[in-house]
Amino acid sequence: MAAYLLRRLIQAALILLGVTFITFVLLYILPADPARQIAGRSATAETVNNIRIQLGLDQPLYVQYGRYLDGLLHLDLGRSYLQKTEVTTLIASRLPATLLLMLGAIVCELAIGLTMGLFAAIRRGGRIDQTLMVISFVAVSAPQFVVGILLLYVFAVYLGWFPIGGYGSFSHLVLPAITLGILGAGWYSRMMRSSMIDVLRQDFIRTARAKGLKPTTVMAVHAMPNAILPIIAMIGIDIGYFMSGIVVVESVFGWPGIGQLAWQAIQRVDIPIIMGVTLVSAFAIVIGNLLADLIAPLIDPRIKLR
Amino acid sequence: MPDTPAAPDAPVLSVRDLTTEVATPEGRRVVVDRLSFDISAGETLCIAGESGSGKSMTALSIMRLLPQPMARIAGGSILLGGRDLAALGERDMRQVRGNDVAMIFQEPMTSLNPVLSIGHQLTEAIRVHRPMPAAEARNLAVKALAAVRIGEPERRLHQYPHELSGGMRQRVMIAMAISGSPKILIADEPTTALDVTVQAQILELIRSLQKDFGTAVILITHDMGVVAEMADRVIVMNGGAMVESGAARQIFHAPREEYTRMLLAAVPRLGAREATSGTAPPAPDGDGAVVTVSDLEVGFDIVGGLLRRPVQRVHAVEGISFDVRRGETLALVGESGCGKSTTGKALLNLVPWNGAITIDGMPIHGLGRTRMKPIRRTIQMIFQDPYASLDPRMTVGELVAEPLVIHGLATGSELADRVAWLFGRVGLSADQMQRHPHEFSGGQRQRVCIARALSLSPKVIVADESVSALDVSVQARVLALLQELQDEMGLSYIFISHDMAVVEQVSHRVAVMYLGQIVETGSRAQVFDDPRHPYTRRLLDAVLLPDPDRRRGHFPIADGEVPSPIHPVGEAPKRVAMTDLGQGHFVAG
C-alpha cells in the first residue's frame, strides 16, 4: 500500500512536470506580448522593453522555464503581472469557492445521474426508460452556457427562487452546481443504466432472489455496489471536465472562483496566473484519479493495490 | 394445516401439467410441455436431458425465477403443501424461496456476489426468513459452513468469493441453500463446471446432507454418470417434454424409449474401450516423433512493490517432457490449473516458455511471427468453446478459408473448392458456407473449427477440451469424426481433457498432469488398467459410471483448498523424479 502510494505520487509529480513544460512552451510561443499589455497602449517602445527586461521575458526559454521550476520547488508560482500579487495568494483565496462549486456539482450529477440510470434500468424498454434517456441525451448535448442562462432566466429572473449570481449562501450554489453537473448527470445516467442492466443479468442476482430477498434489498445490497464500480473511475476523470466547465459557469454566475481568475488572466495574458491555474487544475485531476483508485478497492475486494 | 394427516409418503411437491413458454421474435415457444411429477421427502429425483430439453426451465418455473419478461408459466400447477406456487403472488413466493425450496446453480464462479463477504451472504440468507440478531446468525452460518465440510469456517466468513476455488464456492452455495432447512433442494447442474474429483466431493456432500436433513432433492443434469450415482427416480426430458420416467435401475437397465437408449449409448464409459472403433496404436518405432517436448517450463510472474518487480511466480508448467508419434493420440489429462492447456499453447508458441520443443524436426524456441508461420501449417489447435473461437461477423466459409488465404495457399475457385471439400469432410454441406456462426448448433460450430484447423493439412492437432462443452450425443459424433480423420490422414492429436472416460476412448498414450508436472505416463492400457500414482487413481475413482448398480462408495471430502502452483520468486517447486516401470510406463516417485 505504501509502495503503491509512493509510486503513484512519483507518477503524479512527473505528470505535473510535463504539464508545466507544455503550458510554458505554449505561452512562450504565443504571439501576444504580456509586456505590451502591462504597459498599456500609449506606452513607448522603451517602456515596454524595460518591463520586458524587468519581468525577465527577454531571457531565452530555458532560462525562464528554469526560473519557474526553481520557484515551484519553493511553492512560489510567481507574481501576477497586473495585480502585483502572489499567484499562490490569489489562487488560495479563490480555491475554496471553486472546490465548493465542484463538490456541489459532483453531488448533483451523482444524485441525478445515478437515480435516473437506476430507474431506467429497472424499467428497461418501458416508457420511463425512454423518457429518461431522452432527458439524458438533452443533458449531454446542451452547451453549458445555454443551460446556465436558461436556468438563470427561469429560476432566478422569472420565478425568483434563487439569486441571479454571486456567492455566499446555499441558494447561491444551487444553479451553478446544477449547470456544472448536468452534463455529467447525463453521462452517468447512461453509464449507470447499462452497468445496472449488465449486473441485473448476473448469476449472483438470481442467487439473491432465490434466497427470498426483497427486490429493494436485491437492488440496494447486491446490484448497486457492483453497478457503481465502473462509475467511480469516471468521477476521477470527471474533475478534468469540471475544470473546463468552471471557466464558463463561474463567468455566467459571477462565481468568485479560479475559473473566473483564469478567464480574466487569459484576456490579459497574465502568464503567471494562467500557469498557476493550469497547474492547480492538473493537480486536481491527478488527485481525483488517485482518490478514485483508492476508493475502488473499498467497494470491490477483488481490486488489490500494488 | 390440512385437517387430514398427510400419508407418510405423500409428495412434498407435486407438479401437474406444468407448461412454460418463452416469447421469441418468431412467436411463443413452449419450453416445458405439460410436465407432471411428484417428489417425496428424502427422495432424489434426477431430471436428465441435453441442452434445450427444458430441464433448467423446469427448475426456474418451480422457483418462479424465470427470466422476465420473456418467459412465463402458461399452465399447470406446482403444489407445495397445499399451495400452488404457479399461482402465488410475488410477496408470498418470496417466503417460499430459500425457505421451503432452495436452489443451487451451475456456475459457482459467478453465483456469489463478488463484492460481499461470504459471511454477509450466508447470514443474509438465514435472517431473511428467520429474523434474529447478527451474532446468532453468524453462529448458524459457521455451523452451515462446517456442515459442508469447509475448514476454518470462522475465517471463511471474512473471505470474499474470489479468494475461494470453484469447489469451495459451490459448497458455500450449498451451505446457503441448506441454512434455511428447505423441504426441497433444487440443484441445477451443480457439478458441471467443476473438476471430477471436486464433483465427486460435492455429490457426496449433497447425499450426506440429504440423509441428515431428509430433504427432497431435484437434481438437474446432462450427465448420465451423475444420474446413475444420485437418482432414486429419473425423468428424461427432450424438447421440453418428458420422454420417460421411472426408477433409476429401470431407466438404466430397461429403458423403454429410443431417445433414452440413444442418450445412454452416447455416454463415454470407463472400461468400455473395446466397444469403440478399432484403433491400432501406431508402431512405436514407426516414422518417429512429430512432436518432441523436453523439459518444458512455463511460468508467469506476479509483480508487486514500488518498482513492480516479480514477487511471486505461477509455475504453470514445471519441466515436462513427452513426444508424440505420427498417427498417435497423446492425452494430457488433469484438473483445472494443472498446466495442460498452457502446454498446448506453448506448442504453438502462444506463450513464452523455456526448454526445447521440436515440431516435425524443427526446433521452435524463440521463433518470431514470420519464422513461426510455416510451423503453424504443421500444428493447429481446436479450442473448447466453438462459439467464442469463431468471429461472429464472418461467414463460416470465410473462417475456414482464412488460414489458406493467410498462408497464400489457394485463391479464387481453387480456394472455394478446397473449402467446400473441407466442409464435406467434417460432415457439413457446402451450401452452409454463407451462413454465420450463430446459425449453427454447438456441435456444428465445433465441426467448423475442425475444418478450419484441417485447412492447412497439419500433421498435428492440439485439441484443448474440444468436446467438453458439447452434449453427449454430439460429443460422440465429434469424437468419431476426429477418429476417422486420424485413420485417414495419419494425424497426430494432443488431446487435452479432464474427462477420463473420453480420454480412455480416444487416446493411445496418456500423460497425467498435476500442478504443472507429469505424474504418470504410459500407454492407455498401462494407465487405465494399472494406475500407479495415487493422483491417477483418485482421478479414476472420481469417474462416475452410468450404472446405478455400480455406484461409487464413499469418496473422501477434503476440507481445505487445493495446493497452488504459485510460489515466491526463487522458491521453485520440487520436481518429481520418474520411475521406469518398463514398456514406456513411467510414474512419479
pLDDT digits (tens, 9 = 90+) for A105-140: 989 989 999 999 999 998 888 899 999 999 999 888
Of A3, A203, A214, the CB nearest to B107: A203
Which residue in B has a C-alpha nearest to residue A305's C-alpha? B304
B113 in contact with A at a CB cutoff of 8 Å?
Answer: yes
| DSSP SS3 for B352 | coil
- Chain B environment of A206 (Cβ under 8 Å): 65, 105, 111
pLDDT at B287: 58
Number of domains in chain B: 2
Are A214 and B94 in contact (CB < 8 Å)?
A: yes
Q: Tell whether A193 and A105 lie within a shared domain.
A: yes
Residue type, A125: G
Question: B234, B251 in Cβ contact below 8 A?
Answer: yes
Q: Tell whether A18 and A148 lie within a shared domain.
A: no
For residue B322, which phi and psi values (nearest 5 degrees)? -165, 165
Quick one: average pLDDT of A67-85?
83
Are A203 and B173 in contact (CB < 8 Å)?
A: no
Q: Provide the Cα torsion B439, B443, B446, B450; round to 10°.
A: -120
Question: B232, B250 in Cβ contact below 8 A?
Answer: no
B166 in contact with A at a CB cutoff of 8 Å?
Answer: no
B419 in contact with A at a CB cutoff of 8 Å?
Answer: no
Q: Tell whether B185 and B334 lie within a shared domain.
A: no
Residue B14 lies in a domain: no
B239: left (phi over 0), alpha (psi -120 to 50) or beta: left
Element (H, E) at B517: strand B517-523
Q: Tell whether B258 and B359 lie within a shared domain.
A: no
Residue A79 lies in a domain: no
pLDDT at B2: 44
- Chain B environment of A217 (Cβ under 8 Å): 128
Residue B74 lies in a domain: no
Residue A78 lies in a domain: no
Residue A225 lies in a domain: yes
The tens digit of pLDDT for each residue in A141-186 reads 888 888 888 888 888 888 888 888 778 788 888 888 998 888 889 9
A226 in contact with B at a CB cutoff of 8 Å?
Answer: yes
Q: Tell whether A244 and A285 lie within a shared domain.
A: yes
Chain B stretch 128-157, residues whose beta carbon is closer than 8 A to a beta carbon of chain A: 128-129
In the numeric block, which cell numbers belong to residue A150? 436558461
B23 in contact with A at a CB cutoff of 8 Å?
Answer: no
What order do you get walking across the sheet with B362-363 strand by strand? B362-363, B354-359, B289-304, B309-325, B566-568
Q: Tell whether B299 and B260 lie within a shared domain.
A: no
* Residue, of B486 and A302, whose pLDDT is higher: B486
DSSP code of A155?
Answer: I
Q: What is the mean pLDDT of each run of 10 residues along chain B (589 residues)?
A: 51 93 88 93 92 89 88 92 89 92 88 93 92 92 88 88 86 90 91 83 88 91 90 93 93 92 85 51 62 92 76 87 92 88 92 92 88 90 86 92 91 90 89 88 89 92 88 86 90 92 91 93 92 91 85 76 78 84 87
- Chain B environment of A212 (Cβ under 8 Å): 94-99, 128-129
Question: By C-alpha distance, which of B60, B61, B54 is closest to B32?
Answer: B54
Q: Tell whether B382 and B249 lie within a shared domain.
A: no
Residue type, B453: A
For residue B352, which phi and psi values (nearest 5 degrees)? -70, 140
pLDDT over 90 (residue A290)? no
Question: B488, B277 in Cβ contact below 8 A?
Answer: no
Residue A9 lies in a domain: yes
pLDDT at B81: 85
Question: B98, A212 in Cβ contact below 8 A?
Answer: yes
- Chain A environment of B65 (Cβ under 8 Å): 206, 209-210
Residue B579 lies in a domain: yes
Mutate to test the interface with A, among B111, B127, B308 (most CBs of A within 10 A): B111
Residue A265 lies in a domain: yes
Of A210, A226, A300, the CB nearest to B97: A210
A273 vs chain B: nearest CA distance in angstroms?
35
Q: Tell whether A64 and A115 lie within a shared domain.
A: no
B297 in contact with A at a CB cutoff of 8 Å?
Answer: no
Q: Tell whether B107 and B248 lie within a shared domain.
A: yes
| DSSP SS3 for B389 | coil
Which residue in A has a C-alpha nearest to residue B111's C-alpha? A204
Residue B497 lies in a domain: yes
Are A207 and B111 in contact (CB < 8 Å)?
A: yes
Q: Tell whether B401 and B508 lie within a shared domain.
A: yes
- Chain A environment of B124 (Cβ under 8 Å): 211, 213, 221
Residue A232 lies in a domain: yes
Mutate to test the interface with B, among A129, A201, A204, A229 (most CBs of B within 10 A): A204
Name the domain boundary from A39, A73, A107: A73
Name the domain boundary from A40, A73, A106: A73
Question: B433, B396 in Cβ contact below 8 A?
Answer: yes
Of A3, A202, A207, the CB nearest to B306: A3
Residue B1 lies in a domain: no
pLDDT at A135: 92
Q: Tell whether B59 and B126 lie within a shared domain.
A: yes
| DSSP SS3 for B528 | helix
CA–CA distance, B543 with B555 (Å, rounded to integer)? 11
* Residue range of the domain that includes A59: 2-73
pLDDT at B576: 85
Q: Tell whether A197 and A261 lie within a shared domain.
A: yes
CA–CA distance, A252 with B39 (Å, rounded to integer)? 73
Are A210 and B112 in contact (CB < 8 Å)?
A: no
pLDDT over 50 (residue A280)? yes
Q: Output b/e per residue, B30-67; b: 16+ Cβ within 10 A.
A: bbbbebebbbbbebbbbbbbbeebbbbbbbbbbbbbbe
Residue B276 lies in a domain: no
* Contacts (Cβ under 8 Å, ≥6 apart) of A287: A12
B1 in contact with A at a CB cutoff of 8 Å?
Answer: no
Which residue in A has a C-alpha nearest to residue B101's C-alpha? A210
* Residue range of the domain that includes B519: 286-306+315-541+573-588
pLDDT at B531: 93
Are A306 and B173 in contact (CB < 8 Å)?
A: no
Which residue in B has a C-alpha nearest to residue A199's C-alpha? B113
Residue B5 lies in a domain: no
Of B98, B114, B304, the CB nearest to A211: B98
Q: Tell whether A188 and A279 lie within a shared domain.
A: yes
A207 in contact with B at a CB cutoff of 8 Å?
Answer: yes
The tens digit of pLDDT for each residue in B173-225 reads 999 998 888 999 999 988 887 888 888 888 988 888 888 888 999 999 988 88
Chain B stretch 75-94, residues whose beta carbon is closer than 8 A to a beta carbon of chain A: 94
* CA B211 to centroid of chain Cα atoms: 27
Residue A34 lies in a domain: yes
In the numeric block, which cell numbers belong to residue B229? 450415482
Chain A stretch 236-275, residues whose beta carbon is closer than 8 A to a beta carbon of chain B: none
Q: Tell whether A65 and A187 lie within a shared domain.
A: no
Chain B stretch 35-64, residues whose beta carbon is closer than 8 A to a beta carbon of chain A: 63
Which residue in B has a C-alpha nearest to residue A298's C-alpha? B115
In the numeric block, which cell numbers belong to residue B261? 437408449
Q: Tell whether B442 and B580 lie within a shared domain.
A: yes
| DSSP SS3 for B166 | helix
Number of domains in chain A: 2
pLDDT at B363: 92
Which residue in B has a C-alpha nearest to residue A123's C-alpha? B69
Q: Tell whether B115 and B234 lie within a shared domain.
A: yes
pLDDT at B542: 84
Q: Tell whether B343 and B222 lie within a shared domain.
A: no
Q: Tell whether A13 and A130 lie within a shared domain.
A: no
pLDDT at B282: 53
Domain harbouring B111, CATH code:
3.40.50.300
CA–CA distance, A118 with B336 (Å, rounded to integer)? 38
Q: Tell whether A162 and A69 lie within a shared domain.
A: no
CA–CA distance, B565 with B337 (Å, rounded to integer)? 8
Q: Tell whether B251 and B301 lie within a shared domain.
A: no
Are A302 and B162 in contact (CB < 8 Å)?
A: yes
Q: Tell whether B173 and B114 lie within a shared domain.
A: yes
Residue A90 lies in a domain: no
Residue B13 lies in a domain: no
Are B94 and A212 in contact (CB < 8 Å)?
A: yes
Are A300 and B113 in contact (CB < 8 Å)?
A: no
At A64, is the pLDDT very low, low, confident or very high (cuts 50, 70, 90)? confident
Domain harbouring A113, CATH code:
1.10.3720.10
pLDDT at B8: 52
What is the separation, in whole angstroms, between the first and last Cα of chain B?
64
pLDDT at B62: 94
Give the β-pairing of B241-247 and B517-523: unpaired
B5 in contact with A at a CB cutoff of 8 Å?
Answer: no
pLDDT at B4: 44
Encode A104-127 in three state secondary structure.
HHHHHHHHHHHHHHHHHHHCCCCH
